[in-house]
Amino acid sequence: MTEQPLLSIRDLAISVDLPDGRTMPIVEDLSVDLMAGETLGIVGESGSGKSLASLAIIGLLPDVARPTGQILLDGENLLQASEDRLCQIRGNRIGMIFQEPLTALNPAMTVGDQIAEGLVWHRGLSWRAARREAVELLDQVRIPDAKRRAATYPHEMSGGQRQRVGIAIALALKPALMIADEPTTALDVTVQAEILDILDDLVREYRMALILVSHDLGVIARMCDRTLVLYAGRRMEEGPTRAVLGTPLNPYTRGLVAAVPRRVSGDGRLASIAGTVPGFARLPPGCCFSDRCTEATDDCRAVAPGWFLASEDRALRCLRVERREIGR
Amino acid sequence: MSGDRLLDIQGLTRDYVTRPLFGASHTSRALDGVSLTVGSGEIYGIVGESGCGKSTFARLVMALDRPTSGHVLFDGDDLFSLSAKALKAKRQAFQMVFQDPFGSLDPRHTIGRIIAEPLHVLQPKPAKGTIRDKVAAMLESVGLQAAHAERYPHEFSGGQRQRIAIARALITEPKLVVADEAVSALDLSVQGQVLNLLMDLRRSRGVSFLFITHNLAVVDCIADRVGVMYRGRLVEEGPAEAVLRQPLHPYTKILGDAEPSIERFGRPPKSAAPPPTANVDPGTGCAFRGRCPLAEVRCGQEAPLLRTLAPGRQVACHRADVMAGAAG
């Protein structure tokens, strides 16, 4: 390693306080490094803990969530940082793009002012200068007639334009790390392609690190150097995107890749994973995927598999792959 | 598929008139002369982006709304010239599955009651015991258990709820089911289960589906024929495999290229498409010409009509011959 990672997550675990006084572990044993200019895709179904993990990085976890471990940004542990310090980092060093562009924007403020706000707050620009820069940012995310659009309110814009405004806000301070949580899920495919191009340009231009959280494997394949697959709050597999999606090793990843809708000839059936994601209260003993896994043995149902390196840049969690019984 | 026409839609047009408090009223045409047929036992996919009129189309086919002009012939009867009573009786033959499995099931009713509800409009109403047996049989045919009838919707996951919605649609033994984005809200691993279920039901019961979605891969997976909509018009129609493999309308090609795929890694090469120019006069010519890489002078003067270019394949484009030549 010649270069320090920009973001280094070490043994992150998040548990949530329940109303009845108990605590429920959600995310467990999450460790990942991210270099400047690198893109990491986090794949998972609903309830995999992917949104909770991304909120933990930017320090926006709800009060009931209790994170432990370390989230190091340039060596500084964000989990130990004070709220004042986090306010300096949020928006400034770490930007976030949210899934729902309508609820993420303030309906009572013009979009130009919402973009300018961060520049005034963090950079000490005058409102006049910040608004001017906001117009440039709108132009950069390819909103036509940016000067006029800066003075409009979010409800006057289409979903794709609102998402661009969300990107412009996150982008205003040129953060070193951008977290995009399902940034294009609500959008049409042609608009999605444009938004992904914009993000891609930014990664290249500013050497921004990008964490892209998505359930869409196609989006991950298009955007990300590396991919991390989460299931029930545990990482199942990590490695270069092309390897993880091309030759998946973990049975869950294999099931996901096989379940991508595609034409099946004749009377063939589309592959699917039996059952549904269990609630966190009802995870099976042993491996968390053992109740749905077609390869599971009695050992899988008894022993929780550890995280092991399959090759230099690939790691996964599966007892049977580790014992070289399947898929190597 | 069989050649009979279960559903025959002729020149369906729907205008929405907005009357602002001040100023002149404004008419927007959500659906413009759409004609298509669905044979019995056929799965017909409708694809298009948001705002293309596909949901308006679904509402009209379900006779939930009345068209400005045009006809929907179902089994030979024009739905809009039937009396209210006759239409209600007819409704048991066509049912709908909605997008959101969380919003479309009444949280205060048991699953048994939700599924049995369409039976209450039947004349004569079946006996209680018959209803119970039918619900139990239907639950089993969608892969749930008869005992689930006593439970409430919140006890089920998204995929299971969508199965419940499908069971409710099928309980009256309809000939046609309209599914509006029926799998879009589901996780990848359960999406396959629901798509397989729909294909099974078509095989075992001969149900036809009008399957509306924005996802080309899903259409490719289950549809026999596909219709592509743009700005309220059908721009291309034909056998699903042929249309998606070798599109004849530039819009279909743009949609296909924009859709992320797990077989395409990294950023796709820039297409030659001009930037979207929103300001084309919608009154004349082809509505797509502002985004079309092949647009020529004629496209601005004359609206292209749907014409047959190859057996079973229709396209509304002046430049379709160029597309056919490029592909073939």
In a domain, B114, yes or no: yes
Question: Would the CB atoms of B50 and A264 count as touching at under 8 Å?
Answer: no
In a domain, B91, yes or no: yes
Q: Could you say which DSSP state residue B175 is in?
A: S
pTM: 0.86
**Chain A residues within 8 A of B157 when measuring between CB atoms:** 276-277
The C-alpha of B125 sits at a distance from chain A's nearest C-alpha, in angstroms, of 35
Q: pLDDT tens for residues A123-180?
A: 999 999 999 999 999 988 888 889 999 999 998 888 888 888 998 999 899 899 999 9
A128 touches chain B (CB under 8 A): no
Res. A266 pLDDT band, cuts 50 70 90: low
Beta bridge partners of B44: B210, B225
The C-alpha of A136 sits at a distance from chain B's nearest C-alpha, in angstroms, of 19
Give B57 or A187, the one with higher predicted confidence. B57
The C-alpha of A124 sits at a distance from chain B's nearest C-alpha, in angstroms, of 36
B187 touches chain A (CB under 8 A): yes
Per the listing, tokens 């309110």 go with A153
In a domain, B253, yes or no: no
Domain containing B322 equals 270-328
Are B232 and B274 contained in the same domain?
A: no
B188 touches chain A (CB under 8 A): yes
CB nearest to B221's CB, from A144, A197, A270: A270
Are B199 and B327 contained in the same domain?
A: no
In a domain, A208, yes or no: yes
Taking CA atoms, B81 is separated from A163, B66, B74, in Å, by 44, 10, 12
How many structural domains comprise chain A? 2
B159 touches chain A (CB under 8 A): yes
The C-alpha of B256 sits at a distance from chain A's nearest C-alpha, in angstroms, of 9
In a domain, B265, yes or no: no
SS (H, E, C) chain A: CCCCCCEEEEEEEEEEECCCCCEEEEEEEEEEEECCCCEEEEECCCCCCHHHHHHHHHCCCCCCEEEEEEEEECCEECCCCCHHHHHHHECCCEEEECCCHHHHCCCCCCHHHHHHHHHHHHHCCCHHHHHHHHHHHHHHCCCCCHHHHCCCCHHHCCHHHHHHHHHHHHHCCCCCEEEEECCCCCCCHHHHHHHHHHHHHHHHHHCCEEEEEECCHHHHHHHCCEEEEEECCEEEEEEEHHHHHHCCCCHHHHHHHHCCCCCCCCCCCCCCCCCCCCCHHHCCCCCCCCCCCCCCCHHHHHCCCCCEEEECCEEECCHHHHCCCCCC
Are A218 and A249 contained in the same domain?
A: no
Average of pLDDT values for A85-93?
A: 91
E-assigned strand segments in B115-264: 176-180, 208-213, 225-230, 233-239
Beta bridge partners of B303: none
- A-B CB pairs within 8 A amount to 114
B260 touches chain A (CB under 8 A): yes
In a domain, B261, yes or no: no
Residue B73 and residue B60 in contact, taking contact as beta carbons nearer than 8 Å? no
In a domain, A59, yes or no: yes
Q: Pick the residue of A190, A236, A256, A267 with the most B CBs within 10 A to test the interface with B by mutation.
A: A190
Average of pLDDT values for A276-295?
A: 88
Final residue of a structural domain among B204, B228, B245: B245
How many structural domains comprise chain B? 2
Which B-chain residues 34-93 have CB contacts (< 8 A) with chain A?
49-50
Question: Would the CB atoms of B267 and A192 count as touching at under 8 Å?
Answer: no
| Tens digits of pLDDT across chain B (328 residues) | 445 789 999 999 999 988 888 888 888 889 999 999 999 999 999 998 888 888 899 999 999 999 999 999 999 899 999 999 999 889 889 999 988 888 889 999 999 999 999 998 777 788 999 999 999 999 988 888 889 999 999 888 888 888 899 999 999 989 999 999 888 878 887 888 889 889 988 999 899 999 999 889 899 989 999 999 999 999 999 999 999 999 999 999 999 998 888 888 888 876 545 555 555 666 788 989 888 888 888 988 888 999 998 888 999 999 998 888 875 4
CB nearest to B188's CB, from A159, A221, A259: A259
Residue A244, pLDDT above cutoff 90: yes
B189 touches chain A (CB under 8 A): yes
A262 touches chain B (CB under 8 A): yes
**Chain B residues within 8 A of A46 when measuring between CB atoms:** 158, 187
In a domain, A124, yes or no: yes
Average of pLDDT values for A17-30?
A: 91
Are B240 and B299 contained in the same domain?
A: no
Are A195 and A94 contained in the same domain?
A: yes
Q: What was the pLDDT predicted at B2?
A: 43
Q: What is d(CA A312, CA A210) in angstroms, rounded to the nearest whole number?
A: 22
Are A54 and A182 contained in the same domain?
A: yes
Determine the 3-state secondary structure of B253 from DSSP: helix
In a domain, B106, yes or no: yes
Are A208 and A251 contained in the same domain?
A: no
Are A126 and A185 contained in the same domain?
A: yes
Q: What is d(CA A52, CA A63) in angstroms, rounded to the nearest whole number?
A: 12
Are B38 and B80 contained in the same domain?
A: yes
Q: What was the pLDDT predicted at B1?
A: 42
Are B56 and B105 contained in the same domain?
A: yes
User: According to the per-residue pLDDT averaged within each range, which of A97-101, A271-275, B243-247 is highest?
Assistant: B243-247
Question: Would the CB atoms of B221 and A262 count as touching at under 8 Å?
Answer: yes
Nearest CA in chain A to B218: A261
Instruction: For residue A175, give the CATH number of its domain.
Output: 3.40.50.300
Are A20 and A114 contained in the same domain?
A: yes
**Chain B residues within 8 A of A144 when measuring between CB atoms:** 278
Are A273 and A167 contained in the same domain?
A: no
Are A72 and A139 contained in the same domain?
A: yes
In a domain, A327, yes or no: no
Structure tokens at B19: 């009357």
Are B80 and B208 contained in the same domain?
A: yes
Are A146 and A12 contained in the same domain?
A: yes
CB nearest to B259's CB, from A217, A218, A272: A218
Res. A91 pLDDT band, cuts 50 70 90: confident
Q: What was the pLDDT predicted at B160?
A: 87
The C-alpha of B37 sits at a distance from chain A's nearest C-alpha, in angstroms, of 23
Are A256 and A187 contained in the same domain?
A: no
Final residue of a structural domain among B230, B245, B260: B245
Question: Would the CB atoms of A273 and B267 count as touching at under 8 Å?
Answer: no
Helix axes A127-140, A159-171, angle to 10 degrees: 120
**Chain A residues within 8 A of B241 when measuring between CB atoms:** 263
Q: What was the pLDDT predicted at B140?
A: 87
Are A29 and A173 contained in the same domain?
A: yes
**Chain A residues within 8 A of B47 when measuring between CB atoms:** none
Are B163 and B289 contained in the same domain?
A: no
Question: Would the CB atoms of B188 and A260 count as touching at under 8 Å?
Answer: yes
Are B307 and B241 contained in the same domain?
A: no
Are B235 and B298 contained in the same domain?
A: no
Q: What was the pLDDT predicted at B306?
A: 92
Q: Kind of pairing, strands B176-180 and B94-97?
A: parallel
What value of ipTM does the predicted structure carry? 0.82
Are B297 and B204 contained in the same domain?
A: no
In a domain, A231, yes or no: no
Are A23 and A165 contained in the same domain?
A: yes
**Chain B residues within 8 A of A215 when measuring between CB atoms:** 187-188
Final residue of a structural domain among A224, A251, A279: A224
In a domain, B259, yes or no: no
Sign of CA dihedral A37, A38, A44, A47: negative
Q: Pick the residue of A184, A260, A282 with the most B CBs within 10 A to test the interface with B by mutation.
A: A260
In a domain, B98, yes or no: yes
In a domain, A230, yes or no: no
Q: Could you say which DSSP state residue B304 is in?
A: P
Nearest CA in chain B to A255: B189
Domain containing A295 equals 240-262+269-322
Quote the mean pLDDT of chain A.
90
Sign of CA dihedral B105, B110, B112, B117: negative
